[in-house]
Structure 1
Amino acid sequence: MSQNHHGMQVNPGQEFLCYHDSISKEREGRFGRIFKNHPPLWVNPNVLIELGKVAGPMDEGNNAETTDNVPLGMIYLGQFIDHDITLDTTSSVNRVNNPNEIENFRTPALDLDCIFGEGPEDEPFLYESGSLRLLTGETNNNIGQGPDLEKHDLARNGQGRAMIGDPRNDENRIVSQLQLAFIRFYNEVYNDVEAANPGHSAKENYEEARQLATWHYQWVVVNEFLPTIAGEVAVDNILGKGRKWYCPSGRSFIPVEFSVASYRFGHSMITQEVTLQNGGATHDLFSSSVGRGFTRLADEDQVVHWERFFDFDGTYQRSGKMDTQMASTLLALPFLPPQTPAAMKSLATRNLLRGQSFLLPSGEFVAEKIGRSQAEIDQVKAFVKNQIQANNIDLDYGIPLWYYILAEAEVIGREDKSGFNPGEGLGPVGATLTCEVLLGLLELDSHSYLGADRNWLPTLGTNGDFKMKDLLEKSLASVMQPA
């Protein structure tokens, strides 16, 4: 691995970057860029390693703080959304990555392909025979698990591997059971559609139920997730005045400024410890009960109670603050092979090096480009300098975009109609990038509710609104019924 200092430098041969293929027009099915003509930031990798190391400036240690009103479940929903729209299996921090050459193995659309896969014709093993409901552990009769556990688990094969549209959604108990909740939600919608249309074929019921389930999910993203993470003002401003920066010349794509920087906000909001159940034990993030993943449910104590993660009655767990610090366990990932270099066990370091490998511009450049004031940029720069000066880290010539976005979240914060709320969500740069991309993916998708019927309102929920609480309660309808 290349490991080396400084900010914006003129390096031998740098002029080629002005014509680098990765700055060109986006390609279908690939990643791309929002800012195609930019000076890429270079910081000595040794500096990035110092910034992201254990006991470094990004290690929260025993100083973890939580938000006032962000449910911890929203961060795991963010992970689920990410798995719905991106899958990069080929990029590397050990080379310059050209987004236009990197295939995205998920559709760049909020279409729940992580749930439905390629559909019942291409992936019939995800579906029940005789109907087109999705399999769960209960309807699959998971081998060797027993009815008390399989009804709370994903469908699994004889080796315990989850049979789902995206295997990443089995990497921890929370996202695994979120996957199960969306499967159950679709199945309940399918039941409603089937009951309302007795003469319809299974294929017709599937098409209608899939659209309804997907549109309700999209409604949650627009009307609950984004306002919580990025603020009401950013969402309303983009929906009201239109997108200015994410404007694909052809079909939608995933920009690296989003996937490698702004949408990695959740890494700072994950808490070191988590409680899965009401009155249950507190578990370390990477304990076998929560975070090792890719295994069948082994104990009823591992069943997630969703009121602990989303706002059912105000008693939910809060996420960590959105700031420049992360849970210590994320800076020394315990599941990596022992031979992994210590620097590469830090998720923070990996994010910083990845941003550099994609030739991302500095945070200051993006902030200036989208029209943020010099006074605001200077405020963020001063904050960053104060955070890192004790470690002799020099970012005077440019702040990595991901780190800048975390810093502005900490010092400026999420903008709601009542004003700015530091630490509660994305600041102006992060909110702009995140909202423009997610809303753009919906507006550019002719099958989404924003692309197909902008006057659509949820048919589930209450008074024309629909939240994660409604989705989760609907998903549990059949499970809560007595045997």
Structure 2
Amino acid sequence: MTTPEIRGAVRDRSGNPIPNAEVHLRPPADDSTEARAERIERTETTADGRFSLGLPGEAASPETRATVEVVLAGEVVSEETARVGDDVTLEIEAPRSAANRPTPTAIPDGGMPSFSMETMMKPMSRTMPHHGMAAERGMLNVPRTPSHPGHGRFGRLFPYLSPADHPPEFLAHVGRDGGPMEESDDPDEQSDDISVSSGIVFLGQFIDHDITLDPLSSLSRQNDPDALRNFRTPRLDLDSVYGSGPEGSPFLYQRAPMPGTPSSEMDDPEKFLLGENDAGDFEDLPRNSQGVALIGDPRNDENLVISQLQHAFHRFHNAVVDEIRDAPDEEVFEEAQQLVRWHYHWIVLNEFLPAVCDTDVLSDVLAERRYFLTERDDEPYIPVEFAGAVYRFGHGMIRREYDVNDSSGSLPLFGQDMANSLGAGFQPVSSDNVVDWRYFFDINSSGKVEQSRPIEPKLMAELLNLPFFQMAEGPDFAASLASRNLVRGRRLDLPSGQAVARALGEDPLSNQQIGFDKLIHDYNGQAGSGQQVSEETEAPLWYYTLGEADELADGEHLGPVGSRIVAEVLVGLVETDPSSYHVVQPEWDPTLPTSDAGSGVYTMADMLDFTFDYTGTV
């Protein structure tokens, strides 16, 4: 059955489209006051000013009317009553410049400046595609009814929970540069590192890119901006590595030598093409003449470590091809690809999740999923509670500096090039900064591995003042990753952390337990009298995830709420993937060489040692 909807456009008085305008759908004005106060649906206009709002199933009658409202800075600036199937145009008084640069609302009593949601979030999509900067296609228009799966790329685990309605100004203040979420520069005041190796954070980023890859053409994205019809199914299938395979993505792979031409080191069509660095070694991603990486997902070149991890998976596949080449099976590429994917699935389930989740919760999820209930015949989706909040826990684990090899010294997170930092990204990797993975995973007990920071509601100062964000494109807070996470959670209509805890049957932590009360008090001390935030206001889901881990696990791993959501989603994506070992061969164990043969243990350290052969090296 087709979902009944009202469509339309938002334009200024000159007829120009207004993108990113917030549009609400409510019962019509002549209904009861109580009914009118209850919003049916919410969306934002696309680049051409268009919107589409679906009505609940019971509103299927062509005579059903509803009120469409345009909301700017929390105020209704235009409204129109329409019937199902109508295409309406709403005009607003809005200067074109307002879509590009937000203007603070005047505060008579000297309080905090305020910004509308559309002006706060629009600049977030204008930077290079760094991790966590822009919302994924389809994430920003996820309805509460009907519940998922089967409605698009994204869905909701808890569609019945009311959204937490924090003032945008408050969220911007909480995550600002120099604010209460910034880790101290004083080493004596910083939290101790945890037992989780630093490579787990980058593996988590790699996993995120794998399940959120959106490889469609720009035309497909324009025709389906909400990813309701045309989208790649989210799976842990390494499409970010393999692309569409040798036939669909030939630029990723080596070519067989042409007849009459000499052979080279890069002429095996079953293998990935590798890139040469400045020393002539094949230690980088392949790149075009402008240095752009030729890979399945351009986000995997955004910093030195993730770029080298993408390279490591290319090398891993090539090593597996060599390992199985003498086997009687002629389908070498397909067999190698399956082995790589199955060992990757094993690492996600048996190394990554145990490293970041509470073990009791993970065991319970492996026995039975209770909330992410997609089955093998369903189209999987990504819950917005996961993608827009909980899975962003890794931001708190990022270190200020990293050693990447014996001679690199400590490299800061950000810099103008990857010669003196982890880099602004999207650049060739120099021979001086080739990653020695023993600094990121415990390979052969080398003693070189660095540890992660704890999961807590504190981020490194560098993450609250991102250098690659152009400040001219947005308000001051917009360069803060913390503010972005908090504001995006509000834009996604996410429930509070305490509400999710109650929905999961957990006793919710109080604001005092997770330190959120101090953030409210800090804000109220600077805000005007009309902008005060109630002390009873519950915490945003992302902040709650960090605070719960800090309070209940000393930051070593996620708490019960964070663990449940992360485990349910990643376990569910593997369990419902028809090509995973869990489906094809449930009793399968890793078959590639491991440091502990016969134990059933296989880790990233084993994968990387097999690929780069660190045995016997110092």
Closer, same or farther: CA 152–480 of 1 in aligned 2, 3 Å: farther
CA distance in structure 1 between the aligned counterparts of 2:616 and 2:288, rounded to whole angstroms: 25
Q: Kindly indicate whether the alpha-carbon contact (under 8 Å) linking 2:171 and 2:486 is maintained by their aligned counterparts in 1.
A: yes
CA distance in structure 2 between the aligned counterparts of 1:380 and 1:402, rounded to whole angstroms: 16
CA distance in structure 2 between the aligned counterparts of 1:68 and 1:343, rounded to whole angstroms: 29
CA distance in structure 1 between the aligned counterparts of 2:412 and 2:373, rounded to whole angstroms: 42
Aligned match for 1:219, one of 303, 323, 346: 346
CA distance in structure 2 between the aligned counterparts of 1:64 and 1:381, rounded to whole angstroms: 19
Q: Who is 1:22 aligned against?
A: 143
CA distance in structure 1 between the aligned counterparts of 2:36 and 2:616, rounded to whole angstroms: 66
Shift of 1:14: 3.5
Aligned match for 1:354, one of 488, 497, 500: 488
Instruction: Confirm whether residue 476 of structure 1 aligns to residue 615 of structure 2.
Output: no
Q: Kindly indicate whether the alpha-carbon contact (under 8 Å) linking 1:30 and 1:102 is maintained by their aligned counterparts in 2.
A: yes
Residues 53-97 of structure 1, C-alpha deviation per residue, up to 9 Å, x if partnerless? 01111111314334331111100000000000014699xxxxxxx
Closer, same or farther: CA 2–400 of 1 in aligned 2, 3 Å: farther
Aligned match for 1:75, one of 191, 194, 201: 201
CA distance in structure 1 between the aligned counterparts of 2:404 and 2:299, rounded to whole angstroms: 20
TM-score (ref. length: structure 1): 0.86
Report the 3-state secondary structure (helix = DSSP H, G, I; strand = E; otherwise coil) of the residue aligned with 1:283: strand
Matches within 5 A, 1:258-273: 258-273=386-401
CA distance in structure 2 between the aligned counterparts of 1:186 and 1:446, rounded to whole angstroms: 21
Report the 3-state secondary structure (helix = DSSP H, G, I; strand = E; otherwise coil) of the residue aligned with 1:68: coil
CA distance in structure 2 between the aligned counterparts of 1:319 and 1:103, rounded to whole angstroms: 39
Residues 330-361 of structure 1, C-alpha deviation per residue, up to 9 Å, x if partnerless? 11100012313211101111111111111111
Shift of 1:283: 1.5
CA distance in structure 1 between the aligned counterparts of 2:182 and 2:324, rounded to whole angstroms: 50
Q: Which has the higher contact order (CA 8 A, sep 6+)?
A: 1
Matches within 5 A, 1:207-356: 207-240=334-367, 242-248=368-374, 250-287=378-415, 288-289=417-418, 290-297=422-429, 299-312=430-443, 313=445, 314-340=447-473, 341-356=475-490
The one-letter code matched in structure 2 to 1:471 is M
Q: Who is 1:418 aligned against?
A: none
Shift of 1:253: 0.7
Residues 128-175 of structure 1, C-alpha deviation per residue, up to 9 Å, x if partnerless? 11322111114xxxxxx55x3541101111111111110100000000
The one-letter code matched in structure 2 to 1:254 is I
Q: Who is 1:117 aligned against?
A: 243
Q: Who is 2:590 aligned against?
A: 458
Residues 91-122 of structure 1, C-alpha deviation per residue, up to 9 Å, x if partnerless? xxxxxxx9965689654111111000011111
Closer, same or farther: CA 371–162 of 1 in aligned 2, 3 Å: same
Report the 3-state secondary structure (helix = DSSP H, G, I; strand = E; otherwise coil) of the residue aligned with 2:438: helix
Q: Who is 1:6 aligned against?
A: none
Structure 1 stretch 386-395 or stretch 350-359: which is displaced more? Answer: 386-395
Q: Kindly indicate whether the alpha-carbon contact (under 8 Å) linking 2:175 and 2:482 is maintained by their aligned counterparts in 1.
A: yes
Shift of 1:475: 1.6
Q: Who is 2:171 aligned against?
A: 48
Closer, same or farther: CA 399–88 of 1 in aligned 2, 3 Å: farther
Instruction: Confirm whether residue 164 of structure 1 aligns to residue 295 of structure 2.
Output: yes
CA distance in structure 2 between the aligned counterparts of 1:103 and 1:303, rounded to whole angstroms: 41
Shift of 1:465: 1.7
The one-letter code matched in structure 1 to 2:561 is V
CA distance in structure 2 between the aligned counterparts of 1:34 and 1:102, rounded to whole angstroms: 17
CA distance in structure 2 between the aligned counterparts of 1:339 and 1:383, rounded to whole angstroms: 33
Identity of aligned residues (%): 40
CA distance in structure 2 between the aligned counterparts of 1:388 and 1:307, rounded to whole angstroms: 42
The one-letter code matched in structure 2 to 1:57 is P
Matches within 5 A, 1:120-139: 120-130=246-256, 131-138=269-276
Q: Who is 1:93 aligned against?
A: none
Shift of 1:300: 2.2
Matches within 5 A, 1:59-98: 59-62=182-185, 63-87=189-213
Structure 1 stretch 333-342 or stretch 265-274: which is displaced more? Answer: 333-342
Shift of 1:278: 2.6
Aligned match for 2:571, one of 426, 439, 442: 439
Closer, same or farther: CA 382–325 of 1 in aligned 2, 3 Å: closer
Corresponding residue pairs, total: 445
Q: Who is 1:153 aligned against?
A: 284
Report the 3-state secondary structure (helix = DSSP H, G, I; strand = E; otherwise coil) of the residue aligned with 1:274: strand
Shift of 1:379: 6.9
Residues 2-25 of structure 1, C-alpha deviation per residue, up to 9 Å, x if partnerless? 99xxxxxx9974332496771123
CA distance in structure 2 between the aligned counterparts of 1:331 and 1:61, rounded to whole angstroms: 12
Report the 3-state secondary structure (helix = DSSP H, G, I; strand = E; otherwise coil) of the residue aligned with 1:218: helix
Closer, same or farther: CA 11–403 of 1 in aligned 2, 3 Å: farther
The one-letter code matched in structure 2 to 1:216 is H
Q: Who is 2:307 aligned against?
A: 176
Q: Who is 1:187 aligned against?
A: 318
Q: Kindly indicate whether the alpha-carbon contact (under 8 Å) linking 2:489 and 2:542 is maintained by their aligned counterparts in 1.
A: yes
Shift of 1:382: 5.7
Shift of 1:474: 1.5
- Bigger radius of gyration: 2
Structure 2 gaps, min length 5: 1-19, 23-33, 43-54, 57-141, 217-223, 257-268, 525-532
Aligned match for 2:499, one of 336, 348, 365: 365
The one-letter code matched in structure 1 to 2:450 is Q
CA distance in structure 2 between the aligned counterparts of 1:104 and 1:81, rounded to whole angstroms: 22
CA distance in structure 1 between the aligned counterparts of 2:168 and 2:373, rounded to whole angstroms: 32
Structure 1 stretch 175-184 or stretch 225-234: which is displaced more? Answer: 225-234
Q: Kindly indicate whether the alpha-carbon contact (under 8 Å) linking 1:71 and 1:316 is maintained by their aligned counterparts in 2.
A: yes
Closer, same or farther: CA 388–195 of 1 in aligned 2, 3 Å: farther
Report the 3-state secondary structure (helix = DSSP H, G, I; strand = E; otherwise coil) of the residue aligned with 1:239: helix
Closer, same or farther: CA 2–15 of 1 in aligned 2, 3 Å: closer
Shift of 1:280: 3.1
Shift of 1:181: 0.5
